Amino acid sequence: MKLGGDLVACVLGQVYSEVEKTMTGRERTPLMLEVGSAFQDTMEGRLVAKIERRSRRCVESFVSTHHSDRTLGGDLFFPAPVQ
């Protein structure tokens, strides 16, 4: 995790489980990505709360993405400006 001026970026490796890898191998990538997206939506509040605690700043925006051909993902947190 990198705590910087107006961005907290979490770059993730090896993000896919064996189930997700199997789904991708069987050409079910769209479904696998849909389930992953639903999970991120579910976890957003917990992830944002953790970043807010660590950075001591309110997070205004959260973006999460994963690359289906690689086992890479990234979560970006955009804190509110410091007053």
pLDDT averaged per 10 residues, the chain (length 83): 72 87 85 87 96 93 83 90 79
Q: What is the pLDDT of residue 20?
A: 85
Cα dist from 81 to 3, 9, 74, 76, 78, whole Å: 14, 16, 22, 15, 9
Residues near 61 by beta carbon (within 8 Å), at least 6 away in sequence = 77, 78
Q: From CA 74, how far away is CA 64, in angstroms rounded?
A: 6
Q: From CA 83, how far away is CA 46, in angstroms rounded?
A: 24
Q: What is the pLDDT of residue 4?
A: 52
Say what the pTM is: 0.78
Token pair 């910087």 in the structure block, residue: 4
Residue 76 and residue 19 in contact, taking contact as beta carbons nearer than 8 Å? no
